[in-house]
Chain A
Amino acid sequence: MTDAHEIRHEIRIATGDDIVRIRRAVRTVACAARMSLVDRTKLVTAASELARNVIGHGGGGTVRIERLISPSGVSGVRMVFEDAGPGIPDVRLALTDGWSTGQGLGLGLPGARRLVDEFDLQTVVGEGTRVTVTKWTR
């Protein structure tokens, strides 16, 4: 059973419904971390973008959402999106505004990076992609 005090969600990402569920979970955790409405909205939107990429480009995967407390006592939220999809051959290009291999605006990945405080993208072509983002409560 999950401990009510430890906030941590693992959600699979396969359908649009999962994205709704993820947004709700992120909102809950961001509230628990006492984030402002603006920061909450930014985090939820980043989650939406990254989850959509997992479905659209990564062939589905999972996300782990957890509340963090830094050594200096600052609250934050971390989200780790993982998929075992094709990976991203050119990360710099993928992080360029307006670049998309699909029909999108090509703003999801670079936009998500601007919406959070820490952004880490690990990808291996043919193996998959892991995007880890963190936002701290101000």
Chain B
Amino acid sequence: MTTQPGEQTHIVELLRSRRETALDRWTELAGAELRGRLSRGELRGELDDLLSLMLRALDGPDAEAAHDELTAALSEMSRRRARQAFTPTETAFGVFALKQVVYELVTESGSNRPRLTEELMAFSHTVDELGLLTFETYAATREQVISDQAEQLLELSTPVVKLWEGIVAVPLVGTLDSARTQVVMETLLQTLVDTGSLYAVIDITGVAAVDTEVAQHLMKTIKAARLMGAECVISGIRPQIAQTMVALGIEFGDIVSKASLADALEYLLARSGVRIVREEAG
């Protein structure tokens, strides 16, 4: 921050002595359009924290530490706002509103100190920087929210599909965590029962990494399927995953693995006695 502590003594004094008034007004201005996304009380609490930190950062024995805390608190607030569906402009405006508050306090006090204009300028500059900071954090957070949502979508969309009479497939996509792998595997076993299928393909072409836990889930499912009299084939183990699994020491034992879903289907069709013949044209 370009502002030096002590530079804005009058403003700091005003904000300290008329703290409650300032907070009320700031809450009023910043909360003009909350539309239920945040209660007025919550907002006031947040602004109260910000104001304390700001006063310490402007004029306190621990100005530097307070400034770090202030930036952290603002980033945190901005992140929350992004998740509460505030626009970045609304969030930044909430911060900028403090300028209005201070301007009003100064006018009311009727002060005509010689360095007042400079102080106001410096203060306004400080607030601008803080407002812009919320903007930056907001953008970063939105990206995160979007990528989280994309991932969740992937997690929800793991259907078990029927490839052929008696053959089902489950294409696994995205990040496999334990909970999700378990759900997928349970769905697969249930589908084998429901459709009376004897064969299943677990395709992991879309999986980013296979660790010991995921491997263990896969193996347990395949064993369970065997107990039910069904056979599972794994397909789509990409080179980087194969190498990683070898380094980890994971062995799939006698489980059949095929390069692609198509290869796996061909293999299982043959196992189930279906022969594919290309008819000669003409």
Q: A-side interface residues toward B, CB under 8 Å?
A: 1, 16-17, 19-20, 23-24, 27, 37-38, 40-42, 44-45, 48-49, 52, 97, 104-105, 107-108, 110-112, 114-115
Contacts and interface: CB of A to CB of B under 8 A. Distances in A.
B239 A23 contact: no
Looking at B151, B210, B211, the one whose CB has the most chain A CB atoms below 10 A away is: B211
Nearest to B137: A1
B243 A45 contact: no
B211 A52 contact: yes
Contacts of A115: 244, 247-248
Interface of B: 71-72, 75, 133, 136-137, 147, 151, 175, 177-179, 208-213, 215-216, 239-241, 243-244, 247-250
A105 B179 contact: no
A19 B133 CA distance: 29
A44 B247 contact: no
A104 B179 CA distance: 15
Contacts of A104: 212-213, 216
A5 B79 CA distance: 20
B133 A41 contact: no
Contacts of B241: 41
B212 A49 contact: yes
A108 B212 contact: yes
User: Which of B136, B215, B239, B243 has most A Cβ within 10 Å?
Assistant: B243
A42 to B, nearest CB: 5
A66 B213 CA distance: 25
Contacts of A107: 212, 248-250
Contacts of B215: 105
A76 B193 CA distance: 49
Nearest to A110: B249
A38 B208 CA distance: 11
